[in-house]
Amino acid sequence: MFKSYNELFGRKEDFIIKYCFYSKEEGGRQHLPYQHIRSDFWYNHPENKPNNVFMIYPEFLDNHGNPIEQGVILREGFAKMWILNPEMFDYHKSHISVGQKGFFHEGVIKTAKCEITEINGLLEL
């Protein structure tokens, strides 16, 4: 049975992003992923180090703003984002901003471009 990250973590999402997955021809994934894929989110900031693994995971939303429960996610849309490591809350709180660009990556492959559209629960931590 599907459980949203909100249910699993017992808190609100940290922020929301707009995303667009790269096609295979653009160097991205061969197929679109399913919900709760463990790709990592990265954003550009001068203090970020290339070897950082942020463990910020997406929960993809349908066209009505609800988590997609089954099947392949949309090529582009919105996702709620959760920072998994509580020790990184303050770091990200001081580095993330609305309009900031980022991307999903799986290993060394960038799979989607992203933009932060809202900061929510992160401001409350």
14 lies in some domain: no
51 lies in some domain: yes
Please provide residue 111's backbone torsions phi and psi, each rounded to the nearest 5 degrees. Answer: -105, -20
4 lies in some domain: no
Give the tokens for residue 51.
């070897």
15 lies in some domain: no
53 lies in some domain: yes
- Give this prediction's pTM: 0.92
pLDDT tens, residue by residue, 28-41: 999 999 998 888 89
pLDDT tens, residue by residue, 47-93: 888 778 899 999 999 999 999 998 889 999 999 999 999 999 999 99
CA-CA distance, 119 to 83, in Å (whole number)? 12
In angstroms, the Cα distances linking 99 to 3, 38, 122, 123 are 29, 23, 16, 16
97 lies in some domain: yes
25 lies in some domain: no
20 lies in some domain: no
Handedness of CA 79, 56, 120, 68 (dihedral sign): positive
> Strands across the sheet with 15-21, in order?
40-43, 101-106, 109-119, 15-21, 76-83, 56-60
What range does the domain containing 53 cover?
32-124
Per the structure, how many domains does the chain have? 1
